[in-house]
Amino acid sequence: MCPKSGGFGPFGWQRWHIALIITSYQSVLLACADGGFVGVNSIESLPQLSVVEELRIGSVDDPGFGFSQLAMVDVDSDGNVYALEALDKEIRVYDPRGQLLRRIGAPGEGPGEFQNAPQFGVHGDTVWAFDIRARRLTLFDRRGEVLSTARVVGLKIPLPGRYGYVFPRQMRPDGTFTGWLMMVGSSRDDPPSPVGPDDRVPIPHVRFNAQGEVIDTLGWMPGPPPRIQPPPGYGADRFRVTSIGSRQFVVPNPPTELPTWLSLDDGYIAVDVPYATAQDIGAFTVTRIGLAGDTIYHRTFTYQPVSYTDEELDSAAAQGARGFGNAGAPTDEIRVAQNVLRSELEFPELKLPIRHTWLAQDDGVWFVRDDLPGAPARWVLLGPDGNPRGELQLASNTVPLWSRKDTLWAAEYDDTDVPWLVRYRIK
């Protein structure tokens, strides 16, 4: 009988599952989820994918056409691409040939304007945008005309020591919006949270209408995402400060092994990547969970662990020495601080295999392997079913923004750190 999918990462059965894989060295079929076998794949032997550039949009000389801070992308049914220029707080619309058609939104506080770069998307003939600073949901038509604007109070959820906030995140086919936890924090006006440090707090997926009102509960997550609200006791000893001369420096920590949860319209995907404990094999899992707590798929991936290099540890110490509040310190003090911090680092011997996880628009999961800085980034691509598509190499200055099937839109940064919007075909 398979264990239920109620716990993840350090709280549940997946760590046991990974340990079993490492111990038994099986590589074909191993364990089960909801009564079915799950495959074990090695990311060291995936088929190689490649990309062909089809279109490049941007400019170094024309600030009205080029980008300064390219944040989000969506594509409509006609192939027009909508790109968020976050610095200018506007959505730029280009036709499939890359010609600028129009701009939607502008900085400001009036209807159709944004105080903060919004979360946005395109659904049918509607462009929606949620400005979290203004707490405002705006609907446009595809010509950029404002259809409606509404204040969103959101759903406030007490958590241990603070509060979580659920806001609209995705437009649904019926014109309503799925909302899930977007931020956690507290203010001076908040009363003390009634939730204790060890209390379990389920987090609802809710449905908002276009007026910003909560109209339904769609399902539940077992708790807040661990990287937004760490579990009780986690991190109590992770914040270490050391005094060097007259200054204080924060000792850098290794990358967290807390699971990453990627929210979906109908659930979430948990990516659980623990540190390897053996030189010859490591493993991590990717699990898709429905809003009823059911396991849609569960995949395990093995990899060959590698050790931290001296250069990587030196770089971590250097970043700590130049951390917040010490940017203006004399060079000799920074050098001394770097040497002291280097001696106080408490990093594990073996690196995590994944540096960053990204959710594509078709619900495929991409994760980039933790390779040396400046080397081509090796992205492992999973399809919507959780099965591996292959490994794709992209230049280290390329950031995926939108992908469905074999199309990829990405921000590519040139030598002057100016982003270009590039459409690739994945082969």
The domain spans of the chain are 155-221
**CB-based contact 239:18 (threshold 8 Å):** no
Rounded mean pLDDT of 214-241? 87
- Assess whether pLDDT exceeds 80 at residue 19: no
Give the mean pLDDT of the chain.
88
Nearest-angstrom CA–CA distance, 403 and 387: 16
Q: What are the backbone angles phi and psi of residue 343, rounded to the nearest 5°?
A: -75, -20
**CB-based contact 360:366 (threshold 8 Å):** yes
> What's residue 119's pLDDT?
95
Residue 233: pLDDT band (50, 70, 90) is confident
Residues 6+ apart with CB under 8 A from 188: none
Residue 30: pLDDT band (50, 70, 90) is very low
Q: Quick: pLDDT tens for 387-411.
A: 999 999 999 999 999 999 999 999 9
Nearest-angstrom CA–CA distance, 254 and 351: 9
- Assess whether pLDDT exceeds 70 at residue 83: yes
Question: 10 Å Cβ neighbour count for 398?
Answer: 21
Q: Report, in this order, helix, strand and coil percent for the chain, each rounded to 5.
A: 10, 45, 45
- Assess whether pLDDT exceeds 70 at residue 21: no
Nearest-angstrom CA–CA distance, 423 and 414: 16
Ranges 3-7, 193-197, 215-219, 422-426: which has the least confidence: 3-7
Ranges 57-61, 143-147, 201-205: which has the least confidence: 57-61
- Counting residues of the chain whose pLDDT is more than 70, the rounded percentage is 88
- Dump the DSSP string for 116-136: SPPEEEEETTEEEEEETTTTE
Give the global pTM: 0.88
DSSP reduced 3-state for 62? coil
125 versus 34: the higher-pLDDT residue is: 125
Q: Which two tokens stand for residue 100?
A: 């600028």
- Dump the DSSP string for 133-149: TTTEEEEEETTS-EEEE
Q: Which two tokens stand for residue 42?
A: 């090695």
Ranges 158-162, 236-240, 306-310, 339-343: which has the least confidence: 236-240
Query: Which alpha helices (DSSP H) does 25-166 contain, by range?
Result: none
Residue 238: pLDDT band (50, 70, 90) is confident
- Assess whether pLDDT exceeds 70 at residue 23: no
Q: Which two tokens stand for residue 350?
A: 């073996």
Nearest-angstrom CA–CA distance, 347 and 324: 21
As a whole number of Å, the end-to-end CA separation of the chain is: 40
Q: Which two tokens stand for residue 424?
A: 């690739």
Nearest-angstrom CA–CA distance, 193 and 199: 11
Q: Quick: pLDDT tens for 84-101.
A: 999 999 999 999 999 999
> What's residue 2's pLDDT?
43
Residue 11: pLDDT band (50, 70, 90) is very low
> What's residue 12's pLDDT?
47
DSSP reduced 3-state for 376? coil
> What's residue 14's pLDDT?
52
Ranges 64-68, 129-133, 267-271: which has the least confidence: 64-68
> What's residue 5's pLDDT?
39
